[in-house]
A and B are shown apart, each in its own frame.
Chain A
Amino acid sequence: MKNKLLFPIGVFIIILCASSRQRPLQRFELKGFAQGTTYSIIYYATDSVVNTTQTESLLKRFDRSVSLYDPNSLISQFNRSATGIRIDEPFRVLVTRAIQISHATGRLVDPTVKPLVDAWGFGVVKPARDPTGDEIKSLLQNVGVNKIYLKGDYLYKRRPGVQLDLNGIAQGYSVDLLALLLERYYINNYLIELGGELRVKGHKPGNDPFKVGIEGISGNDFDPEPLRKIIEPGDGAITTSGNYRKHHEAGGKQVSHLMNPLTGFPIQNEMISITVYARDAITADGFDNGFMAMGLKNTLAFLEKRKNMGAYIVYRKADGSVADTVTTAFKNKN
């Protein structure tokens, strides 16, 4: 009697396990709007375990930490404070990594660059004119990673005028956080894109790799150029920094939105755009603006011996023509 009952139950359980193991992976796509731009997530799973409610709430929480557009965000509070404030975990991770990368690039990226960004008309509030040399000199007194420091979860500033702008790195980190969210649900095949910054893991069904296009540099969103290149990045992050979309004109010259924190002036060199590969997006995004400031020669030297970071660079040659090049670690991405 007992045996007669157990046998069918056992068979049933075996069938159940087998069928769940064999349920095919389905493609899911989430799309949304965050940080003044769009994001899209493609993932493969047996079920839609992650949805836009989760991604929206993650990104909203993130904005409350480090968005300069939110006057009540922690970063806005820090910027208004005289000596600093207590910050949350994502903010702490970001600022720690930003300080490391600032040192690694010889301070060519700097999280305290906000006064310069504002003065050159790329902040939330636009000034009527470009700053004078004297104004820049006085702004530079509040710029520099040595003017902030962390003690536990308290972020201090050494001068009241010190202000943070993490926009150059935050987008990358939010992509990492979205990746963490997916991986918490055991999703191992995905591509996440937010504002042109990507994180990739695994592959599509049939071992088909994820393919990523590198945008043309016309900067004309109404008549986009064909993609410059299509790559298969493999596991890791791809971010791009470029001068071609966000700039303004002053005195007949194009003013870049990227600042050189050492001089206080917008960068002006042969770099048009750089697409960086790294293990995570906080790293790739954290370095890409620094490479733009470093220029072609120094960036190539910097990346020459690195195996875990590489770049595809579009630059203007002395004769005005546009050229491109890749570093060692990027070569196998083609």
Chain B
Amino acid sequence: MAGGLVLSNSLIAAKPDTQPLKIAVIGCGDRGTGIMHILNGLPDMFRIIAVCDVLDFRLTSAQKLTKNSTTKAYTDYRKLLDDGEVEAVIVAVPLNMHYPIATDVIKSGRHLYLEKTMTYNIEQALELVKLMHGRSNQVLQVGHQYRYSPLYYRVKEMVNNGFLGKVTQVDCRWDRNGDWRRQVPQPGLERAINWRMYKQYSGGLMAELLSHQIDFINWVFDTHPQEFFATGGIDVFKDGRETYDNIQVMMRYPELGLIGNFGAMCGNAHDGYLFKIKGTLGSVSLLTDQGMFFPEKKLLNEKGTIDGVTGATRIVWNKEGGTPILSEPTKDGTWYAFKDFYKKVQAKELPDSNVLTGARTAISVHLANQSLYEKKISTWDKNYML
């Protein structure tokens, strides 16, 4: 009703015809607060009305982050879900808690933005798919934000239009030279804060980092890997952690004739984030916010008898003759992801990163981890058909 009154005032007719979504954040660690910063920049779309975390100090700082003085704070997410005002929920908690909290959120009827990886194991992924069945009015978006970046979208188009030719290898890295730990204010909180180090809560580097690139390849080619060959260990930081700090996995997509190489490590930062898609006509090299296209040299020489080409000046960024894919660096992918989340909630449409694609990627991650930790070749089970 208030919306109607506001709209009748022509002076503020430019105001969008929908109200901001009343949203709550469960899990206010680095990721949760990072998302809150982004939501603060989208006031027409989101109003953070409640936050929840099991750690008091995080709850206090999260509350300060919201520009809204009436933001409610909860330590128990079930109490937050009892709050009738909440329309949508962001879940950014340790991986092992994704499934139980997501289930409660969905059952409460709220729209859900669930951080990646979607679930801790394969069974939970399949259960969540079942739970969402028939709930077409409810939006579940999984936090694989690269699907929303205009740069990554353009790359998908380039691959699908055949500009890269036949793609047979993908190289992905997400490296750092550091222990990947967060500071712990008191020793008792070690496991709560550094949950990524422990198998009970986390899928390690595979789930936290490489899942993005694994998901992107699944999306671009509308597929998933069939075979997983992984190796790794705790090779740099023997500090009591359980998840490996040095991992490499090869994935085979037999119907495409494609090999995916995914690696992450904590002992060298030179490559940092690396993402290369290699085809017979050219390759794409991506950072998170910018990318280059390199046509194959062989093709440049195939002009045959031509000695030179005249044309409007081509802008290139580097000496290897690459062409920028977009002229400007993009914003953080999460910004685009939340803009789309808002749109999908309004339209009650299936997001690009949804429960099915989220399950595919979660299963890919778990099979890769199975291969890594059980030292075996894992294969996709036909029964996972999604």
Does more than half of chain B's interface fall in helix, strand or loop, or is it mixed? loop
A214: chain B residues within 8 A (beta carbon): 309-311
A222: chain B residues within 8 A (beta carbon): 158, 163, 282, 293, 323, 325
CB pair B307–A42 under 8 Å, yes or no, is yes
Q: Shortest CB–CB separation between residue B151 and chain A, in angstroms?
A: 13
A241 CA to B311 CA, complexed, in Å: 7
A230 CA to B303 CA, complexed, in Å: 11
CB pair A193–B308 under 8 Å, yes or no, is yes
A219 CA to B312 CA, complexed, in Å: 9
A224: chain B residues within 8 A (beta carbon): 295
A273 CA to B314 CA, complexed, in Å: 14
B interface footprint on A204-224 (CB within 8 Å = 1, 0 otherwise): 100000111111000101111
Q: Which residue of B lies closest to A214 (CB)?
A: B310
Check: A163 CB closer than 8 A to any chain B CB: no
A interface footprint on B324-365 (CB within 8 Å = 1, 0 otherwise): 010000000000000000000000000000000000000000
Check: A275 CB closer than 8 A to any chain B CB: yes
Check: B318 CB closer than 8 A to any chain A CB: yes
CB-contact partner of A198 in B310, B315, B321, under 8 A: B310
CB pair B310–A211 under 8 Å, yes or no, is no
CB pair B293–A210 under 8 Å, yes or no, is no
Q: Using known A-B contacts A33-B318, A221-B293, A222-B163, determine if residue A227 contacts B303 with beta carbons closer than 8 Å.
A: yes
CB-contact partner of A193 in B162, B309, B315, B323, under 8 A: B309
Check: A32 CB closer than 8 A to any chain B CB: yes
Q: For chain A residues 17-49, which have a beta carbon within 8 Å of chain B?
A: 32-33, 36-38, 40, 42
CB pair A230–B312 under 8 Å, yes or no, is no
A125 CA to B295 CA, complexed, in Å: 29
Check: B313 CB closer than 8 A to any chain A CB: yes
CB-contact partner of B308 in A32, A36, A210, A245, under 8 A: A210
Q: Which residue of B lies closest to A33 (CB)?
A: B319
Check: B306 CB closer than 8 A to any chain A CB: yes
Check: A165 CB closer than 8 A to any chain B CB: no
CB-contact partner of A197 in B303, B307, B310, B323, under 8 A: B310
B318: chain A residues within 8 A (beta carbon): 33
B377: chain A residues within 8 A (beta carbon): none
Q: Which residue of B lies closest to A275 (CB)?
A: B310
Q: Shortest CB–CB separation between residue B208 and chain A, in angstroms?
A: 32
Check: A240 CB closer than 8 A to any chain B CB: yes
A36: chain B residues within 8 A (beta carbon): 315-316
B158: chain A residues within 8 A (beta carbon): 222
Check: A68 CB closer than 8 A to any chain B CB: no
Check: B383 CB closer than 8 A to any chain A CB: no
CB pair B315–A212 under 8 Å, yes or no, is no
CB pair A212–B313 under 8 Å, yes or no, is no
CB pair B323–A196 under 8 Å, yes or no, is no
CB pair A212–B306 under 8 Å, yes or no, is yes
Does more than half of chain A's interface fall in helix, strand or loop, or is it mixed? strand
CB pair B312–A213 under 8 Å, yes or no, is no
A162 CA to B304 CA, complexed, in Å: 47
Check: B305 CB closer than 8 A to any chain A CB: yes
Q: Which residue of A lies closest to B293 (CB)?
A: A222
Q: What interface size band does chain A fall in?
A: 35 or more
Check: B8 CB closer than 8 A to any chain A CB: no
A193 CA to B309 CA, complexed, in Å: 8
Q: Which residue of B lies closest to A244 (CB)?
A: B312
CB pair A215–B310 under 8 Å, yes or no, is yes
Check: A238 CB closer than 8 A to any chain B CB: yes
Q: Which residue of B lies closest to A216 (CB)?
A: B311
A224 CA to B315 CA, complexed, in Å: 14
CB pair A245–B310 under 8 Å, yes or no, is no
CB pair A238–B310 under 8 Å, yes or no, is yes
CB-contact partner of B309 in A213, A221, A244, under 8 A: A213
Q: For chain A residues 308-334, which have a beta carbon within 8 Å of chain B?
A: none
In the complex, besides A221-B323, A246-B312, A246-B313, 11 extra interface pairs with C-beta distance below 8 angstroms are: A37-B315, A38-B321, A171-B313, A191-B307, A196-B312, A196-B314, A211-B306, A214-B310, A238-B310, A245-B314, A245-B315
Q: Which A residues lie at the B interface, using CB under 8 A? A: 32-33, 36-38, 40, 42, 171, 191, 193, 195-198, 200, 204, 210-215, 219, 221-224, 227, 230, 238-246, 273, 275
29 of the cross-chain contacts (CB-CB < 8 Å) are: A32-B319, A37-B315, A37-B316, A171-B313, A191-B308, A195-B313, A195-B314, A196-B311, A196-B312, A210-B308, A212-B306, A212-B309, A213-B308, A215-B311, A219-B312, A221-B314, A221-B323, A222-B158, A222-B163, A227-B306, A230-B306, A242-B312, A243-B312, A245-B311, A245-B313, A246-B312, A246-B313, A273-B311, A275-B310
Closest 3 CB pairs of A and B: A215-B311, A242-B312, A195-B313
